[in-house]
Amino acid sequence: MNLTLITKIFFLQLICFVSLPFYSYAQQQDQLKFGADRLVEEYLSYLTGKKLGLIVNHTSLLSNGKHLVDVLLSEDGVVITSLFSPEHGIRGDADAGKLISDGFDPATGIKIISLYGKTKKPTKEMLNNIDILIYDIQDVGARFYTYISTLYYAIEAAAANNKKILVLDRPNPISGEKVEGPLLDLNFKSFVGIAKIPIRHGMTIGELALLFNDDIKIRKNISAELEIVKMVNWNRNEYYDDYFSEWLPPSPNINKLETAIVYPGTCLIEGTNISEGRGTIEPFLKIGAPFIDAVKVIEELNKHSIKGVKLESVRFIPVSIKGMSASPKLKDTDCNGIRIKVTDRDQFNPVEFGVKLISVIISLYPDKIKFSNDFFDKLAGTDYIRKLLLKKTDPDLIISRWQDELKYFLQIRNNYLLY
């Protein structure tokens, strides 16, 4: 069988598990071009004859809805030797935290290498048959979203093994202007906090890649041959739906833009014994537990100058949902809590909201709420938030504590902004 035909069959098989809509552009916008679009339009002659390794998943689409791998494999002279998978797998349908296995595509023999299994950083052996690494995955704009940790390790591996790496830029879906939260204390570095950036970083993956490469140079005295393939017609102050009418979930539980906007704050709930809404169709938008009185929580939260959201009482039962959450916290337990509705996303500060929400729950139920200390601190990037919350410190004082370091980060960040 013709190799090109085989490879087309391969990726058709690979992506049939997810919906890949054509991007529908808002009428008022000049058409946005992803880095992937520009790679295909401008870089093919450079890629011809090179052995490529692609770090991709279901979000690695061109603006016409075609997958990057499909398009590259249809071009004469383009050789893909390996595909690398982040958390949630190549198809983007694996549960959060589920380890991903290596594999081979049966049609082409192209190796699929997991970067969310036994190893999270490409090894020398993995890169032996590769000339250029290409990274093209949609981020959500939060430090603990592991796709950017995969990016960090990919850059570090490229630097250590003298491989060129191309990062194909994509929008920050929750805008590239707002920056929130404490910077990572490196004592709490983990795969949900890889570099000294705030929780809501306000950067694109291309901008982060530049920052990460400099960070690696400082810490390891090595630097990758890194090139960012920039977008065209992206504006920092705009959100995903300013360009596109359909949301493509970057992972199973970030299933709408509203979820992505709230996620930098309510993901902190994952480090407690309270349900963050996994096991419902609105994870991170529903927060609850059996012991919570939603009316009291909402009443107390409204005393804390919460802007840009409407809070509603809700009851829910987390259940196993295939492809989203096989074993959610408080599974099959009747929970009372709140449903968060974003009414003004420019006014809403999710990280501040998350801290105030936990503070209110502690004030009402000091003997009921429990922290998973290690994991909460990794998500927060520090232990002082948990410690001050447990001391019932005013949440505004906790929030004020990270403002000076945030101002410092904004100065550093300016050196890496591309748009």
At residue 170 the predicted structure's pLDDT band, cuts being 50, 70 and 90, is very high
* Helices 257-266 and 350-364, axial angle in degrees (round to 10): 50
pLDDT reading at 177 higher than 90: yes
Per this entry, what is the length of the chain?
A: 419
Q: Rounded mean pLDDT of 57-70?
A: 94
The pLDDT-based confidence of 100 (bands split at 50, 70, 90) is: low
Q: Mean pLDDT across the stretch 51-63?
A: 96
pLDDT of residue 15: 45
Give residue-wise pLDDT tens across range 360-408: 999 999 999 999 979 999 999 999 999 999 999 999 999 999 999 999 9
208-214 long-range Cβ contacts below 8 angstroms, 24+ apart: 208/139, 208/148, 208/151, 208/416, 209/135, 209/151, 209/155, 209/165, 209/167, 210/416, 210/418, 211/412, 211/413, 211/416, 212/151, 212/152, 212/155, 212/156, 213/155, 213/159
User: Quick one: pLDDT at residue 5?
Assistant: 39
| The one-letter amino acid at 246 | E
Q: Kindly report the pTM of this predicted structure.
A: 0.92
Where are the chain's structural domains? 3-242, 257-405
Q: Tell me the fold of 257-405.
A: Aspartate Aminotransferase, domain 1 (3.90.1150)
Mean pLDDT, rounded, for 179-207? 98
pLDDT band at 28 (very low <50, low <70, confident <90, very high): very low
CATH class of domain segment(s) 3-242: alpha beta
Query: Among all chains, which residue has been given the structure tokens 């958390």?
Result: 87
CA gyration radius for the chain?
Answer: 21
pLDDT on residue 62: 97
Residue 306 is predicted with a pLDDT of: 95
What is the band of 88 on the pLDDT scale with cuts at 50, 70, 90?
A: confident
Q: What is the pLDDT of residues 289-334, one digit of tens each?
A: 999 999 999 999 999 999 999 999 999 999 999 889 999 999 999 9
pLDDT at 330: 98
